């Protein structure tokens, strides 16, 4: 990662950075006390101390006009500098006998940075210029601080806390205090203020209020309230009359409150404005960080819950108010565009949802239809002022609609219709409309961004990346928030870990946009098996107004299943169902299988099957196979997989087809069907290699992961020629280096299996040692490492890895890799590992071996007769002079 000293270009560029402002307390009094000469020496000493520490911490000096204005890459580094700075001032004061104390403010935000030319610097300009709202806000924080105090904004504090895990030193002994909420002059919403310091140096006292920053107190502690307590007795006599005669109050709107935007009324007769007005108004209003807009898709879902047809029902005053009450929104906004002489009038009504009464109206005039977008900007700015947003904040977050969208209403209409198609789950139509919008306006950045999001949803990451990159080349046509959103998406396409880091930054900067928390949590879980990093972010999305919050609850449930927290996971799955989760998501069934509550799992599966009717539902058959295989009923599981293969439309759903084929191969292996398995491996690899590029990049299908899995199985089963052909395609083909977090480990596993097949376990170990994973390694990688340790004769290490796998039953059921690829095989393996462990313990600890066999017997008491795993257990039981009933021949129903 570059530090704050990295070279800058000579044109302004928006960057997320940490600012620090340090100011020496009472420097004027210092001159009066010491005299010019000695005071100058002390100030120069102070400056040397500060600059040495800035350099040591990778910071950059911006200005020294009103204190040291410094730039750092990350808040944790800025805090380390600030602590070292205060410590050094204390040491200098003790040495010189002169009190040197400073105030320090730390804040994070978007800044515009550019380097001045050599000519400008020669004429007196600073080498580096910096602008942005974060600059005056860090000055307010510094001014609020007491002597010797370091104050941080909430976002700086939260990011610094996360960064602590990667640091050592003084920061870990520092203390952190929250001093409550303060309102900064020029900022509409209050912020939480934190202090960091070292005991004995920091005051750890709440800052005093000033005319530029003041503490937000509970109403009963405010001076006016205390003074008014005496007057309260007198006022009580007037209360009854007031209650009778008072008018309804205006809406008490506060920063970050939510609004519902109803459907606009178009009275002009121009169809061009029917849907475009809605989109333009939303896009303009969503630039505000003061107002939060309930997503349109969430409002439509509420209509469905209200038993209204969301596709045709207009969100009028009454229905929008009902939605607002359901969502806890403070206000409803209804817009109208109508003829006004030779002009057009745009108006917005602010409505109290409790009474459905209009409490305020703002309007703006457009000279003609070409002036509608600028008029919408004017309308929204007036509305934001009406809601209480400051002029400074509006100015900072009000890019013109023509700049951040398009100046062509036809293009905007096509874009709006594309959004509707996306909500209707029709990505093909959405993409066609977006392409039409781009034909009209080739520089419509939001259209490229929406295309990228559509392709990402379809699993086509390469195409998604191309569109995100194109949108970012048009960054001037994006708002600050949209640019940050796109940068996170683009980073994810290139590198999963880096993308997750970018989404964390976005989630922390825009906490009310649940997409940030949802994406951090979902990607941490599904790509990295990292539930530790996912849960706190998912919790934000679960409690949000995000339209996908049912899915957030389901992802939370899956993450808790993987972590083994089953009872907690049940609560989130039930919440997801209450919120309208699509029945195709079967995470609760996975959790019930993990608990071995098979009847409960069957209830979930059968209910989903009934709701979806006869529609293709291969996930149902995959879960049925897992449920049966976990009990040792491999023949029945195999029949379930065949039912899925008969039902799936291979051309429309490559991913499900190949997941079914993988389960079929796993069952053939554990049923001992060697000839059938050999045929399956050879034919599967040949069919995969025959896929054309378009088929290889089909929706919800990771070609490389599937091919690597078949190659690894081929090496394990002696199908060398087919497996080597597959591995060559993976390591030399056109699909190498896509940045996928999953394919690198699985390809390494295939290469390691080749080395093991060639009796080269040392080479296999070296191959797997090159794989670094963030989060928890995949099940397949962990099994491969165990096999390598066994081949090397490292029995203790193999035993430890085996025990870890046995303890991670939730991982076996809930690992999401390519939508639960290999789940059926994993539940067979986790039972087989009990027999492996018993065999390993038979000589040194027969009692332990018997306990392990007894556990296997309980798990597979209804297992098919004659299974290879059962035969091994029976042979070991005889050797131990005990025979578990579960390995005796048991009649099964075909």
In the chain, what are the domain boundaries? 13-220, 248-398, 401-494, 607-826
The mean predicted confidence, pLDDT, of the chain is 84
Query: Is 245 buried (19+), middle (13-18) or exposed (0-12) by CB count in 10 A?
Result: exposed
**Amino acid 861: pLDDT:** 95
As a whole number of angstroms, the distance between CA 194 and CA 209 comes to: 15
Least confident of 46-50, 137-141, 148-152, 295-299: 295-299
Please state the rounded mean pLDDT for residues 619-643: 97
pLDDT score of 9 more than 60: no
Name the most confidently modeled range: 370-374, 540-544, 564-568, 635-639.
635-639
Query: 0.75 exceeded by the pTM?
Result: no
Q: Do the two domains 401-494 and 607-826 of this chain adopt the same fold? A: yes
Whether the pLDDT of residue 147 is over 80: the answer is yes
Report H helices in 164-200.
none
Q: What is the pLDDT of residue 170?
A: 60
Q: Where are the alpha helices (DSSP H) in 630-673?
A: 634-647, 654-670
Residue 790: pLDDT over 50: yes
Does residue 310 have a pLDDT over 80? no
Taking the domain 607-826, which CATH number applies? 1.25.40
Instruction: Compute CA 243 distance to the chain's CA centroid, rounded to the nearest angstrom.
Output: 48
Which whole-number Å values give the CA distances from 64 to 22, 42, 208, in the listed order? 9, 16, 25
The CATH architecture one would assign to domain 401-494 is Alpha Horseshoe (1.25)
Q: Which of 94-98, 698-702, 885-889 has the highest mean pLDDT?
A: 94-98
Pairing mode, if any, of strands 213-215 and 191-197?
unpaired
Percent of the chain with pLDDT over 70: 89
Classify domain 248-398 at the CATH superfamily level. Answer: ABC-type transport auxiliary lipoprotein component (3.40.50.10610)
CA distance 884 to 362: 80
CA distance 163 to 147: 26
Nearest to 145 by CA among 182, 119, 174, 111: 182
**Distance (Å, whole) CA 828 – CA 671:** 11
| Structure confidence at residue 14 (pLDDT) | 61
Q: Is the pLDDT of residue 141 over 60?
A: yes
H/E element holding 555?
Answer: helix 549-563
Per-residue confidence band for 756, with pLDDT thresholds at 50, 70 and 90: very high
Q: Is the pLDDT of residue 759 over 70?
A: yes
Dihedral sign of CA atoms 452, 456, 457, 459 in order: positive
What backbone phi and psi angles, to 5 degrees, belong to 178?
-100, 125
- Show the tokens assigned to 328: 């806890």
Residue 767: pLDDT over 80: yes
**Model confidence band, residue 217 (pLDDT cutoffs 50, 70, 90):** low
| Half-sphere exposure (Cβ direction) of 726: Cα atoms closer than 13 Å | 32
Q: Beta-carbon neighbour count of residue 304 at 10 Å?
A: 13
- Which is nearest to 18 in space by CA: 172, 128, 152? 152
Torsion of CA 701, 705, 706, 712, to 10 degrees: 180
Cα–Cα distance measured from residue 509 to residue 367, given in angstroms and rounded to the nearest whole number: 38
Q: Which residues pair with 126 in a beta bridge?
A: none
Q: What are phi and psi of 457, to 5 degrees?
A: -60, -35
Please state the φ and ψ torsions of residue 333, each to the nearest 5 degrees.
-120, 130
Q: Is the pLDDT of residue 894 over 80?
A: no
Which residue blocks in 269-314 are alpha helix, DSSP H? 276-285, 296-305
Highest-pLDDT range among 271-275, 494-498, 749-753: 749-753
pLDDT at res. 226:
42
879 pLDDT above the threshold of 70 = yes
Distance, in Å, from the CA atom of 50 to the CA atom of 198, rounded to the nearest integer, reads: 18
According to DSSP, the β-strands at 102-115 and 128-131 are antiparallel
Architecture of domain 13-220: 2-Layer Sandwich (3.30)
pLDDT at 253: 64
Distant-in-sequence, close-in-space partners of 156: CB < 8 Å, separation ≥ 6: 18, 75, 78, 79, 106, 107, 108, 194
Q: What is the mean pLDDT of residues 294-305?
A: 79
* Helix residue spans in 190-271 (DSSP H): 223-245
């Amino acid at each position: 990662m570059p530090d704050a000293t990295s070279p800058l270009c000579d044109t302004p560029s928006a960057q997320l950075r940490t600012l620090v402002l340090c100011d020496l307390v009472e420097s004027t009094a210092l001159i009066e006390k010491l005299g010019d000469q000695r005071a100058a020496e002390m100030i120069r000493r102070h400056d040397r101390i500060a600059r040495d520490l800035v350099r040591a911490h990778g910071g950059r000096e911006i200005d020294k006009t009103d204190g040291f204005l410094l730039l750092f890459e990350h808040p944790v580094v800025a805090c380390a500098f600030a602590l070292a700075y205060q410590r050094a001032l204390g040491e200098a004061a003790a040495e010189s006998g002169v009190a040197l104390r400073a105030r320090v403010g730390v804040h994070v935000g978007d800044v515009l940075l550019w380097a001045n030319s050599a000519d400008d610097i020669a004429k007196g300009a600073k080498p580096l210029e910096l602008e942005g709202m974060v600059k005056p806000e860090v000055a307010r924080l510094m001014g609020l601080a007491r002597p010797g105090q370091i104050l941080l904004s909430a976002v700086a504090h939260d990011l610094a806390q996360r960064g602590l895990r990667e640091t050592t030193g003084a920061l870990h002994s520092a203390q952190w205090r929250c001093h409550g909420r303060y309102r900064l002059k020029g900022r509409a919403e209050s912020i939480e203020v934190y202090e960091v310091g070292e005991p004995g140096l920091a005051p750890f006292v709440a800052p005093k209020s000033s005319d530029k920053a003041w503490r937000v107190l509970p109403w009963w502690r405010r001076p006016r309230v205390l003074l008014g307590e005496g007057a309260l007795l007198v006022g009580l006599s007037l209360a009854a009359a007031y209650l009778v005669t008072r008018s309804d109050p205006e809406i008490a709107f506060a920063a970050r409150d939510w609004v519902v935007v109803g459907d606009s009324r178009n009275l002009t007769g121009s169809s061009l404005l029917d849907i475009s007005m809605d989109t333009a108004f939303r896009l303009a209003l969503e630039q505000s960080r003061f107002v939060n807009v309930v997503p349109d898709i969430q409002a439509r879902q509420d209509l469905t819950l209200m038993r209204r047809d969301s596709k045709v029902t207009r969100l009028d005053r009454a229905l929008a108010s009902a939605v607002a009450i359901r969502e806890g929104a403070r206000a409803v906004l209804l817009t109208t565009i109508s003829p006004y002489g030779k002009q057009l009038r745009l108006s917005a009504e602010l409505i109290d949802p409790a009474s459905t009464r209009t409490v305020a109206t703002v309007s703006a005039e457009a000279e003609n239809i070409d002036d509608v977008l600028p008029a919408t900007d004017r309308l929204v700015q007036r509305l934001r002022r009406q809601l209480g947003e400051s002029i400074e904040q509006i100015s900072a977050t009000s890019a013109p609609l023509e700049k951040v969208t398009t100046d062509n209403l036809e293009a905007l209409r096509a874009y709006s219709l594309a959004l509707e198609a996306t909500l209707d789950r029709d990505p093909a139509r959405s993409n066609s409309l977006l392409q039409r919008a781009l034909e009209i306006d080739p520089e419509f950045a939001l259209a490229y961004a929406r295309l990228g999001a559509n392709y990402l949803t379809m699993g086509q990451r390469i195409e998604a990346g191309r569109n995100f990159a194109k949108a970012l080349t048009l960054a001037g046509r994006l708002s600050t928030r949209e640019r940050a959103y796109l940068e996170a998406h683009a980073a994810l396409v290139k590198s999963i870990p880096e993308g997750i880091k970018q989404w964390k930054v976005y989630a922390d900067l825009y906490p009310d946009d649940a997409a940030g928390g949802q994406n951090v949590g979902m990607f941490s879980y599904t790509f990295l098996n990292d539930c530790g990093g996912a849960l706190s972010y998912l919790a934000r999305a679960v409690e949000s107004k995000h339209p996908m919050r049912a899915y957030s609850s389901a992802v939370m449930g899956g993450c808790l299943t993987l972590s083994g927290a089953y009872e907690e996971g049940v609560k989130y799955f039930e919440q997801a169902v209450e919120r309208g989760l699509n029945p195709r998501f079967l995470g609760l069934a996975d959790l019930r299988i993990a608990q071995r509550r098979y009847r409960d799992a069957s209830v979930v599966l059968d209910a989903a099957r009934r709701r979806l009717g006869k529609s293709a539902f291969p996930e149902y058959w995959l879960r049925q196979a897992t449920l049966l295989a976990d009990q040792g009923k491999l023949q029945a599981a195999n029949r379930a997989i065949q039912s899925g293969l008969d039902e799936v439309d291979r051309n429309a759903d490559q991913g499900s087809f190949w997941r079914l084929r993988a389960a079929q191969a796993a069952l053939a292996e554990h049923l001992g069907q060697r000839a059938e398995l050999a045929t399956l491996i050879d034919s599967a690899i040949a069919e995969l290699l025959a896929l054309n590029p378009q088929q290889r990049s089909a929706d919800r299908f990771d070609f490389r992961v599937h091919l690597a899995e078949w190659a690894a199985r081929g090496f394990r089963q002696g199908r060398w020629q087919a497996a080597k052909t597959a591995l060559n395609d993976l390591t030399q083909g056109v699909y190498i280096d896509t940045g996928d977090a999953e394919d690198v480990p699985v390809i390494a596993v295939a290469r390691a299996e080749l080395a093991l097949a060639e009796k080269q376990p040392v080479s296999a170990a070296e191959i797997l040692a090159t794989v670094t994973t963030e989060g928890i390694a995949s099940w397949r990688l962990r099994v491969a490492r165990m096999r390598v340790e066994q081949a090397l004769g490292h029995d203790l290490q193999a035993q430890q890895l085996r025990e870890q796998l046995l303890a991670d039953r939730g991982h076996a059921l809930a690992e999401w890799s390519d939508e639960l690829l290999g789940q059926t095989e994993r539940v067979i393996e986790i039972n087989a590992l009990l027999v492996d462990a018993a065999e390993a313990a038979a000589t040194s600890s027969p009692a332990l071996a018997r306990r392990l066999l007894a556990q296997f017997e309980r798990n597979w008491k209804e297992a098919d007769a004659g299974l290879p795993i059962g035969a091994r257990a029976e042979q070991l039981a005889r050797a131990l002079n005990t025979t578990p009933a579960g390995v005796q021949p048991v009649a099964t129903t075909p």
